Amino acid sequence: MADRSVDWMLKRAVGSSRDGIWVIDTAGRILWANPRAGELLGRSAEELVGSSLFDLLDRTGVAQFREHLRELGERGPNLRDVECCLLRPDGGPVRLLVGESEVRDDDGALVGYVHRMIGDNQQLEMLEELTRGRAQLADAQSIARLGSWEIDYAQDAVTWSPQIFHVLGLDPETTVPNVATFFSMLHEEDRPMVEEEYAAAQGSPGEHCVDARLVRGDGSLRWVRVTGRTLEWGPDGAPLRVGGTVQDIDEVKETELQLRDAVVLNTLMQFMATAANQASTLREAMETLHGLLLAHGDWQAAVAFDVRGAELLPIRVAEHDEHTELELAAALRALHARDVVFEEDADAQHPMIAFPVSLGDRALIVAVVTARTPFERQSMLRTMAHQISAQLATVAARETAAAELAAARDHAMEASRAKSEFVATMSHEIRTPLNGVIGLNDLLLHTELDEHQRRLAEGMQGAGRALLRLINDILDFSKIEARALEFERVPFRPLEVVADVLDLFRPEAERRGNRLDATFSGAVPSVLVGDPGRFRQVLSNLVSNAVKFTSDGVVTVTVRARWVGRDVEMRVEVADTGIGMTPEQLERVFDPFQQADASTTRNYGGTGLGLAIARQLAAAFDGELGATSELGEGSTFWFTSCFSAATAEGTGPAPTPTTSTGAAAGHVLVVEDNETNQLVALGMLQALGYTADLASDGSEGARRALSGSYDAVLMDLQMPGTDGFEATRLIRAGSPADRRLPVIALTASATAGARERCAEAGMDGFLTKPLSMEGLGEELRRCIVGASAPVRLQDGRLRELAEMGEAAAPLIRRAVDNFVERAPGEVGEIGDALDRADHETLRMTAHRLKGSAANLGLVEVADTAFELEELGRHGAEGDLAPVSAPRLVEELGTALELGIAELRRHPVVAWCHARSSNGASSP
């Protein structure tokens, strides 16, 4: 009863299953079916029983099922679900997943099969996705030339993906995957390495990878990359499954090896190119090459042979070089072939490469290099040999050219020396009598002469001076060619040089009916350092030409300046309304001994050297000279030149020392007897922010210096009675030992020894007249505070703002006033933030103060604020540096106080205040 109950329950369970189930015999006839099977196929279960499965298939399905029944007897049912397509009564297809299992009787005989059919669309889609994934994986592995492998130790099974068979060149139908087969295919030199990595992959976690060569089934050699790792571990820690990949990397490896060869070759060639560039002879280059090659592990010997016709003579590049007959034979082959040759047969383990070095069609040497191991890639070696040969040939060509150049240079130097001696001799011989002619004629002009005689004497004087100018031009041109022209570096006033030149040519301009005008930019410094004579020479040439080629017109000289770093670039333009030039004439006007046309010398005179010399001089000033012109409309010639500033950029007068009782900038005594010079000194001191007293002679100056409280004394040297030297000695004798009052010399004489005499008398500074405000401020700062005083104010920014013109004055004044009013409070905020360990407030306030100080040129304030900003920025990571931070705050306060003092008395700031009150012009 119990058995019948179980059978009944099983039938009910199978009958109610959501999967279709039927039983077929070995011929494919349906013996039993549950209702779900009929439902899936649009029939009743009763209709299915007794029918053949062949009746439910299309033509293709019939053929496939017939083949499947045949294979069932050989290998058994499918182990996985497979997709099948059956037909409904109306011929419509039904896609099903079919699982298959055997049915045997009590004696174990096969009587049929059970099919379980799933019609779930989701599962079908999952199967399709899995099928597509497998296909995509197979495609990806095929594209990447990569196959996967797995070893299941529990099942003692080895599986390879189809692509592994392709990589190994094996037939999957005839090859059984196993480890021994794979290892047997590895190159004998690489097999131990792969076995070692294989063992490591089984004993440790992580991925293991190795590149190796293997011999494929067709006998070809391939590089493969083998990876492996343990996929599953047993309870005892032993590996249960190991898997990985095998990838064909032959092309990649070949590219990698070629790249490595290229790197080695490029490195060698870079060293060789450097050696070739540095070597002056072929011998030097060969010695360097010898060392480079033998330092490389691939090479064991290198020899060279000198080519003498068809004969080769050994060259001893290194001390112990000895050649072999085999090397000589290889060299002869390379010489006859005039190309790279390889010798690999005589000694296969140590092959040779030989190559010639030629200059044009002539072979110079033949080099032979012996390797330590057999060659693998001849193409790389051939390239290397060709490039080394080319480098050595370059050195040989340079050596030959250098020898030829040396000979030509010696010849040219001899010719130049002879030319210089000739010019010097002729100059001396001509100038001596010419100076006599001009001098005597000048004396003659100062005697009583009638009108005719004076006209003749003046004509002779003009001709003599023209001849002197010609000789001077020729000498200058000769010196320029010989690079022997000398330049001075002395302080000078550029605008005074311009004014002198204009005064020189104004009479001639007026005689020709011309008006001579000049305009100046306010940015032109009052004092520069350079060669005023050469500057005057260039300007004089341009003004002279403009006046000479203009009648009843205008000649205008325009002078501008701009700061280039710490130097000043001057630009001078000379424009005229004269005869002008055509483009062709303008093109050749700067050539030596050339004029605009053949009639120029006849009509206007001149040698054609002036502009050539002027252009060379402008180049010597780190500038250039050019021109624009239009025939009949006039010309504009211009030149630029660079000079040093007379004082360090932005250095202002010193802050007030503690001994001062005068104004904020200091109190100065001026000892000067000349009224004009008194006005100049007092005016400059006032502009610089100093107060001053005046003494008209040395005695009064010494008395007032000893009785008053002054920060410095400006002492004129040449005065009646007690001069500046004696007055300074009196001051030194009467001053207390603990206080030295700075005394600064004022003199119109800059002769050699004047500065030394001033120092001996006890003076601390030295200024030459005419004074410049910058020079005066610098010398006061240096003498009062000391030469080591820091530069607190860089005035480049203030001057940039001032160059914007009068509209910038209120902006500068407002910026300065706001800074002076706000900055002390910000220093207080920084100190408070430090006390509270308030990192963010410290950082933000210091950052704000740094920016505003830097904008006004207060570098010391900006730098100290930056250090405090960094302390605030990193304070959250530690402490606020309790030792250094308070010191920095104290330094910041001192720097700000002194910086504000310098800022208030700076000429630009003074100009801004004056501009607001009385409309003064730009500084």
Residue-wise DSSP of 32-85: EE-HHHHHHTTS-HHHHTT-BGGGGS-HHHHHHHHHHHHHHHHH-S-SS-EEEE
580 and 632 Cβ atoms separated by less than 8 Å: yes
* pLDDT of 651 over the 80 cut: no
Q: What one-character-per-residue DSSP string does 761-814 give? A: HT--EEEESSP-HHHHHHHHHHHHH-TT------THHHHHHHTT-GGGHHHHHH
pLDDT band at 616 (very low <50, low <70, confident <90, very high): confident
Q: Which residues contact 840 (CB under 8 A, 6 or more apart)?
A: 872
pLDDT in tens, 621-648: 889 999 999 999 999 999 999 998 875 4
d(CA 727, CA 758): 11
Identify residue 151 by its one-letter amino acid code: I
pLDDT band at 656 (very low <50, low <70, confident <90, very high): very low
- What distance, in Å, lies between the first and last C-alpha atoms of the chain? 127
Mean of the per-residue pLDDT values of the chain: 79
pLDDT band at 899 (very low <50, low <70, confident <90, very high): confident
pTM of the complete model: 0.32
pLDDT in tens, 153-189: 877 888 888 888 888 888 888 888 888 888 888 988 8
d(CA 187, CA 193): 10
Query: At residue 148, what are phi and psi to the nearest 5 degrees?
Result: -115, 150
842 and 830 Cβ atoms separated by less than 8 Å: yes
Of 710, 550, 545, 709, the closest CA to residue 625 belongs to 545
Amino acid 872: pLDDT: 81
> What strands lie across the sheet with 299-308, from one edge to the other?
311-315, 299-308, 362-371, 352-359, 341-343
Of 534, 420, 522, the closest CA to residue 481 belongs to 420
Could you tell me if residue 366 is left (phi over 0), alpha (psi between -120 and 50 degrees) or otherwise beta?
Answer: beta
SS3 662: coil
Top-confidence residue, 651 or 681: 681
Contacts of residues 137-145 at CB distance under 8 Å and 24 or more positions apart, as own/partner, are: 138/162, 138/163, 142/166, 144/247, 145/247, 145/248, 145/249
Cα 126 to Cα 131, 132, 516: the distances in Å are: 8, 10, 100
* pLDDT of 687 over the 50 cut: yes
| Total residues belonging to the chain | 923
* pLDDT of 571 over the 90 cut: yes
Identify the residue whose tokens are 């040519």.
Answer: 505
d(CA 678, CA 342): 93
User: What's the rounded mean pLDDT across residues 668-690?
Assistant: 79
d(CA 776, CA 767): 7
d(CA 784, CA 777): 11
d(CA 745, CA 681): 13
Of 645, 501, 629, 518, the closest CA to residue 570 belongs to 645
Of 332, 343, 282, 340, the closest CA to residue 308 belongs to 332
Is residue 824 exposed (0-12), middle (13-18) or buried (19+ Cβ within 10 Å)?
A: middle
Contacts of residues 136-143 at CB distance under 8 Å and 24 or more positions apart, as own/partner, are: 138/162, 138/163, 142/166
d(CA 686, CA 907): 10
Of 830, 841, 840, the closest CA to residue 893 belongs to 830
- Which range has the top average pLDDT, 213-222, 502-511, 679-688, 697-706? 697-706
d(CA 302, CA 609): 61
Of 280, 279, 296, 297, the closest CA to residue 288 belongs to 279
Q: Which residues contact 13 (CB under 8 A, 6 or more apart)?
A: none
SS3 500: helix
Q: What residues does 572 pair with on adjacent strands? A: 559, 639
CA torsion angle for 776, 779, 783, 785 (degrees, to 10)?
90
pLDDT in tens, 83-141: 888 999 998 888 888 889 898 888 888 889 999 888 766 565 665 665 665 666 666 66
Helix axis angle, 839-855 to 809-836, nearest 10°? 160
pLDDT in tens, 15-50: 778 888 999 998 999 999 999 888 888 999 899 999
Q: Which residues contact 890 (CB under 8 A, 6 or more apart)?
A: none
pLDDT in tens, 378-410: 777 888 888 888 888 888 888 888 888 888 888
* pLDDT of 655 over the 50 cut: no
User: What's the rounded mean pLDDT across residues 139-146?
Assistant: 70
DSSP 921: P
Amino acid 321: pLDDT: 66
User: What's the rounded mean pLDDT across residues 466-474?
Assistant: 70
Query: At residue 449, what are phi and psi to the nearest 5 degrees?
Result: -130, 145
